């Protein structure tokens, strides 16, 4: 196993800055996901680690070896970096059997026939494809092709595994299943992995840490739940799900612990407590994030608790989504979305209150 270290890594295409001064350390055995919208620089970052793109500035190290240093003119080719790679297209060769696809990296490295047989068998066993060794690649389903691509990436025991949206071509149910299976393999092997996706749910389910990128820069790095619950800024908050984002003024600020402050804020037609990561002076403005699943519908006119935020409004629209029902409530501060149980009695036109606890309301500057 090896770690991966990026130090002030940038990539320019003419005047366009695709990746700007990225600092990142992926520890040995860690699963780190680069997450962000299309064009944010995540795939370019992965390709620079892979040696498929050359960084314009900065330094990249894999294990104890510097593989790219723009200032020194050092660039180690991709084939010498001991990396396993799985791409969105899988790149399975249709004229080869499953065995030959997986064996290809070993033949390039001039392994003996007996070594190839043993190593391919072991890799196929890892992805539960040992019974398909002689099958032609075109006869495989999408999920099976994905497993073969992973086996081929693992077969020569690479130092690091790189994956660029490997599940995006699968249907939703299979994508969830294959994501769980891959994470199980990664944990079992302790393989250092750098993964690229634009799917927030996938990133949260698979990762030890998530790196949120936007416009070529890193916005936040952290554990999935921490980033989801405590985004560093409005960009990160807006990227995960469909949160309610409300502007407010700060009335008071008090420290809760080493990581959190309590704010009392006032918005258009509402006021109450929320939490944030850093001190904000009274009179300052913040954006308060309330996720739909953290809000609940209550009867109109109810009293708010000391640790709750409330809004009064009228149900404008409802959408049945199976496990939940989306309730859109028109308030003085605009429309708020609430995820409610699907079996409740919610009628368009009803006057209601929305209630959110202080712990579920997070403010960003």
Instruction: Give the global pTM.
Output: 0.88
One domain, residues 170 and 62: yes
One domain, residues 20 and 84: yes
Give pLDDT, residue 302. 61
Q: Sheet containing 83-86: which strands, arranged edge to edge?
A: 83-86, 160-164, 192-197, 31-35, 209-214, 217-222
Strands 160-164 and 244-255: unpaired
Give pLDDT, residue 62. 95
Per-residue model confidence as pLDDT tens digits over 144-167: 888 888 888 888 888 899 999 888
One domain, residues 271 and 308: yes
Give pLDDT, residue 150. 85
Give pLDDT, residue 94. 87
One domain, residues 200 and 105: yes
Give the count of domains, the chain: 2
Sequence-distant (6+) residues with CB within 8 A of 241 are 200, 291, 292
How much of the chain, in percent, has pLDDT values that exceed 70? 98
pLDDT band per the 50, 70, 90 thresholds, residue 356? very high
Q: Are 273 and 262 in contact (CB under 8 A)?
A: yes
Instruction: Quickly count: other Cβ atoms within 10 Å of residue 345's Cβ.
Output: 5
One domain, residues 79 and 200: yes
From the list 107, 25, 31, the residue with the least C-alpha distance to 61 is 25
Computed over every residue of the chain, the mean pLDDT equals 91
| Alpha-carbon Rg for the chain in angstroms | 25
The domain of 88 spans 4-234
Measured in degrees and rounded to the nearest 5, phi and psi for residue 329 equal: -115, 125
One domain, residues 347 and 225: no
DSSP string, 118-149: HHHHHHHHHTT-GGGTTSBGGGS-HHHHHHHH
Give pLDDT, residue 91. 78
Q: Which of 186, 211, 234 is the last residue of a domain?
A: 234
Give pLDDT, residue 61. 97
User: Is 80 exceeded by the pLDDT of residue 54?
Assistant: yes
Q: Which of 206, 234, 262 is the last residue of a domain?
A: 234
pLDDT band per the 50, 70, 90 thresholds, residue 301? low
User: Is 90 exceeded by the pLDDT of residue 240?
Assistant: no
Least confident of 54-58, 120-124, 149-153: 149-153
From the list 171, 135, 129, 170, the residue with the least C-alpha distance to 151 is 129
Give pLDDT, residue 36. 93
Which pairs with CB-CB distance under 8 Å and at least 24 residues apart come from 199-206? 199/167, 199/168, 200/35, 200/239, 200/240, 200/241, 202/33, 202/167, 202/175, 203/33, 203/35, 204/228, 205/176, 205/179, 205/180, 206/31, 206/33, 206/179, 206/182
Strands 325-331 and 308-320: antiparallel
Least confident of 76-90, 218-232, 278-292, 307-321: 76-90
One domain, residues 211 and 275: no
Any idea what the CATH number is for the domain that residue 76 is in?
3.40.50.300
Greater confidence (118 vs 174) lies with: 118
One domain, residues 44 and 158: yes
Question: Distance of CA 43 to CAs 35, 70, 87, 166, 230, Å?
Answer: 9, 19, 11, 12, 25
Per-residue model confidence as pLDDT tens digits over 191-228: 899 999 999 999 999 999 999 999 999 999 999 999 99
Any idea what the CATH number is for the domain that residue 283 is in?
2.40.50.140
One domain, residues 130 and 259: no
Give pLDDT, residue 1. 66
One domain, residues 281 and 320: yes
One domain, residues 253 and 198: no
How much of the chain, in percent, has pLDDT values that exceed 90? 67
User: Is 90 exceeded by the pLDDT of residue 337?
Assistant: yes
Greater confidence (338 vs 174) lies with: 338
289: which 2 tokens? 């994030």
Give pLDDT, residue 303. 63
Give the highest mean pLDDT range of 53-67, 80-94, 111-125.
53-67
Q: Which of 200, 234, 268 is the last residue of a domain?
A: 234
The DSSP symbol for 112 reads -
Per-residue model confidence as pLDDT tens digits over 249-300: 999 999 999 989 999 999 999 999 999 999 999 999 999 999 999 999 988 7
One domain, residues 286 and 194: no
């Amino acid at each position: 196993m090896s770690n991966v270290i990026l130090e002030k890594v940038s990539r320019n295409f003419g005047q366009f800055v695709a990746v700007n001064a990225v600092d990142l350390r992926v520890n040995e055995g860690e699963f780190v996901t680069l997450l962000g919208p299309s064009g944010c620089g995540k795939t370019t970052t992965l390709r620079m680690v892979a040696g498929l793109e050359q960084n314009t500035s900065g330094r990249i190290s894999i294990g104890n070896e510097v593989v790219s240093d723009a200032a020194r003119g050092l660039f180690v080719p991709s084939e010498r970096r001991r990396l396993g790679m799985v791409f969105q297209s899988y790149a399975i060769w249709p004229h080869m059997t499953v065995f030959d696809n997986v064996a290809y990296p070993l033949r390039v490295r001039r392994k003996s026939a007996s070594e190839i047989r043993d190593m391919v068998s072991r890799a196929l066993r890892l992805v539960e494809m040992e019974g398909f060794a002689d099958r032609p690649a075109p006869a495989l389903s999408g999920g099976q092709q994905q497993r073969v691509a992973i086996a081929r990436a693992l077969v020569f025991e690479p130092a690091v595994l790189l994956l660029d949206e490997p599940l995006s071509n699968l249907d939703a149910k299979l994508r969830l299943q294959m994501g769980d299976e891959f994470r199980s393999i990664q944990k079992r092997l302790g393989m250092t992995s750098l993964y690229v996706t634009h799917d927030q749910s996938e990133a949260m389910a698979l990762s030890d840490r998530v790196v949120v990128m936007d416009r070529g820069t890193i916005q936040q790095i952290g554990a999935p739940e921490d980033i989801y619950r405590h985004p560093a800024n409005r960009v990160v908050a807006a990227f995960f799900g469909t949160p309610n984002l409300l502007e407010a003024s700060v009335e008071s600020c008090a420290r809760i612990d080493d990581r959190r402050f309590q704010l009392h804020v006032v918005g258009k037609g509402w006021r109450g407590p929320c939490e944030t990561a850093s001190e904000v002076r009274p009179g300052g403005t913040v954006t308060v994030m309330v996720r739909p699943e953290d809000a609940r519908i209550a009867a109109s006119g109810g009293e708010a608790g000391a640790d709750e935020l409330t809004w009064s409004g009228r149900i404008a629209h409802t959408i049945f989504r199976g496990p939940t029902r989306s309730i859109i409530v028109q308030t003085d501060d605009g429309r708020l979305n609430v995820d409610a149980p699907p079996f409740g009695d919610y009628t368009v036109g009803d006057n209601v209150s929305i209630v959110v606890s202080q712990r579920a309301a997070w403010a960003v500057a």
